[in-house]
Amino acid sequence: MTSEATARRRIAELRQQLATAAQAYHEHDEQLIPDADYDRLLRELEALEAAHPQLDSDDSPSHQIGGRPSSRFPEVVHAVPMLSLGNAFSDDEVRDFVRRIDERLQRRTLVFSAEPKLDGLAISLRYEDGVFVQGATRGDGSRGEDVTANLRQIKVIPARLEGAGWPAVLEVRGEVYMPRADFEKYNEQARLHGGKVLANPRNGAAGSLRQLDPKVSAQRPLSFYAYGTGEVDGGQLPPTHSATLARLAQWGFPVSELCRVVEGVDGLLDYYRDIGARRDGLAFDIDGVVYKLDDRDGQREMGFVARAPRWAIAHKFPAQEQTTTVEAIEIQIGRTGAATPVARLQPVQVAGVTVTNATLHNADQIARLDVRVGDSVIVRRAGDVIPEVVSVIPGRRPPGALPWTMPPACPVCGAEIVREEGAAVWRCSGELSCPAQRKEAIAHFASRRAMDIDGLGDRYIEILVDAGIVRGVADLYRLQRDTLLLLKLALDAADPSALANGIAPHLPAGGSGEWLKALLRLDGNDPRWRAQALALPARFEWNPKKIATRWADNLIAAIDASRTTTLERLLFALGIEHVGESTAKALAQWFGDLELIRQLPWPLFKRVPDIGGEVARSLGHFFEQEGNQQAIDALLQVGRVRIGDVHLPSPRLREGLDLAQLLVEAEIPGITRLRAEKLVAALPSAQQILDAEPQHLLAAGLPEDTAHGLAQWLDSDNHGQLLLRGEAQMRRLLELAPVAAAQPAGPLDGQTVVLTGTLSALTRDAAKARLEALGAKVAGSVSKKTAFVVAGSEAGSKLDKATELGVEVWDEPRLLAFLTEHGQHP
- Dihedrals phi, psi of 477, to nearest 5 degrees: -85, 5
Tell me the β-bridge partners of 345.
326
Residue 574: the pLDDT is 94
Residue 138 counted as an annotated binding residue = yes
Long-range contacts at 500-504 (CB < 8 A, ≥ 24 apart): 501/546, 503/540, 503/546, 503/547
Residue 801 counted as an annotated binding residue = no
Residue 528: the pLDDT is 47
Residue 361: the pLDDT is 82
Residue 826: the pLDDT is 63
Contact criterion met (CB below 8 Å) for 619 and 579: yes
**How confident is the model over 560-583, as pLDDT tens digits?**
999 999 999 999 999 998 898 889
Residue 620: the pLDDT is 93
Residue 616: the pLDDT is 93
Residue 292 counted as an annotated binding residue = yes
Question: Domains in the chain and their CATH numbers?
Answer: 4-64 (1.10.287.610), 77-316 (3.30.470.30), 321-396 (2.40.50.140), 470-561 (no CATH), 651-743 (1.10.150), 752-821 (3.40.50.10190)
Q: What 3-state class would DSSP assign to 156?
A: coil
Residue 35 counted as an annotated binding residue = yes
Residue 326: the pLDDT is 95
Residue 24: the pLDDT is 66
Residue 678 counted as an annotated binding residue = no
Contact criterion met (CB below 8 Å) for 124 and 132: no
- Report how far residue 289's alpha carbon sits from residue 313's, in angstroms, rounded to the nearest whole number: 9
**How confident is the model over 286-328, as pLDDT tens digits?**
989 999 999 999 999 999 886 789 999 999 887 778 889 999 9
Neighbour count for residue 431 (Cβ, 10 Å): 27
Residue 764 counted as an annotated binding residue = no
Catalytic hit among 117, 488, 606, 798: 117
Residue 464: the pLDDT is 82
pTM of the model: 0.58
Which residues, 6+ apart, have CB-to-CB distance to 546 below 8 Å? 501, 503
Residue 744: the pLDDT is 65
Residue 294 counted as an annotated binding residue = no
3-state secondary structure 113-154: EEEEEECCEEEEEEEECCEEEEEEECCCCCEEEECHHHHCCC
Helix and strand counts by DSSP (H, E) for the chain: 32, 24
Residue 129 counted as an annotated binding residue = no
Residue 793 counted as an annotated binding residue = no
- Report how far residue 623's alpha carbon sits from residue 39's, in angstroms, rounded to the nearest whole number: 56
- Report how far residue 727's alpha carbon sits from residue 686's, in angstroms, rounded to the nearest whole number: 7
Residue 439 appears among annotated catalytic residues: no
Please tell me the number of Cα atoms within 13 Å of 197 on its side-chain side: 24
Instruction: Work out the end-to-end distance of the chain between its first and last CA atoms, rounded to an integer number of angstroms.
Output: 96
Which positions of the chain have pLDDT values less than 50? 1, 494-542
- Report how far residue 343's alpha carbon sits from residue 378's, in angstroms, rounded to the nearest whole number: 12
Residue 492: the pLDDT is 57
Residue 259 counted as an annotated binding residue = no
Residue 410 counted as an annotated binding residue = yes
Residue 626 counted as an annotated binding residue = no
Contact criterion met (CB below 8 Å) for 113 and 294: yes
Please tell me the number of Cα atoms within 13 Å of 204 on its side-chain side: 28
